[in-house]
A and B are shown apart, each in its own frame.
Chain A
Amino acid sequence: QQQVKQSPQSLIVQKGGISIINCAYENTAFDYFPWYQQFPGKGPALLIAIRPDVSEKKEGRFTISFNKSAKQFSLHIMDSQPGDSATYFCAASSLPGNQFYFGTGTSLTVIP
């Protein structure tokens, strides 16, 4: 059973546009929600993470929005650039030290 559901599977955005990737979860014990970015031939790398005590976290052009009541969280990439083209995974875990559950990934392509 998939613990974290991610959509869309693929996304094409014009340079300068906003990329939005959504994730949903069921387990209310989850309290740590990271996003990972993966380039071809590389392993995933942590991009940004949030805990449910805040509704939004911003780092540069990347923002996580978190809706605890809806059990949903999303990644927004503002002013998307071709260099942002990668696969993005959301994940969730119940800390401390517990297993991470990953979404199925979103392949983002930013066209010039």
Chain B
Amino acid sequence: EADIYQTPRYLVIGTGKKITLECSQTMGHDKMYWYQQDPGMELHLIHYSYGVNSTEKGDLSSESTVSRIRTEHFPLTLESARPSHTSQYLCASSEGLGLEQETQYFGPGTRLLVL
């Protein structure tokens, strides 16, 4: 069982609100990722980080931002939520030092509904 946590698990919020989705892992992994998951669609990478103070945007354009101040923590922030942001957000981490270490461990996800 992977030790990666996401809070909140469910969030219903009004348009225009600022929200932060939390993700923490206790495995000491250098690499962390945020994916967006919609029903019947592939997981889309929206942000990733290869270590402290390193963040990059993924293939899927996103209005969210991330930070990586500590190895274990990779929060995602939406400055002004919109209904188009309604989705499930999955956080993942990997050790990233070789073939076996490329296994990505996923958190349980945050299901976001913006009204």
> Which A residues are within 8 Å of any B CB, using their own CB?
2, 4, 6, 9, 32, 34, 36, 41-46, 49, 51, 89, 93, 95-97, 99-105
Chain B residues bordering chain A, tally (CB within 8 A)? 27
Say which residue of B92, B99, B103 sits within 8 Å of A51 (CB atoms): B99
Residue of chain A at shortest CB distance from B56: A99
Min CB distance, B102 to chain A, in Å?
Answer: 6
Q: Which of A4, A43, A89 is within 8 Å of B92, CB to CB? A: A43
- A105–B44 Cα gap in the complex (Å)? 12
Mostly, the A contact residues are loop
**CB-contacts of B23-53 with A (<8 A):** 31, 35, 40-43, 45, 48, 50
A39 CB, min distance to chain B CBs, angstroms: 10
- A109 → chain B closest CB, angstroms: 15
Q: Residues 92-115 of chain B: 1 if any A CB is under 8 Å from the residue's CB, otherwise 0? A: 100010110011111111000000
Given contacts A44-B106, A46-B104, A95 and B99 within 8 Å (CB-CB): yes
Interchain CB contact (< 8 A) of A44 among B43, B48, B99 = B43
Closest-by-CB residue of A relative to B39 is A105
Smallest beta-carbon distance A107→chain B, Å: 9
Q: How far is the CB of B51 from chain A (nearest CB, A)?
A: 11
Query: A69 to nearest B CB, angstroms?
Result: 22
Q: Are A99 and B45 in contact (CB under 8 A)?
A: yes
Chain A residues in 8 Å Cβ range of B50: 97
Given known A41-B108, A93-B102, A97-B50, contact A104–B42 (CB-CB < 8 A) = yes
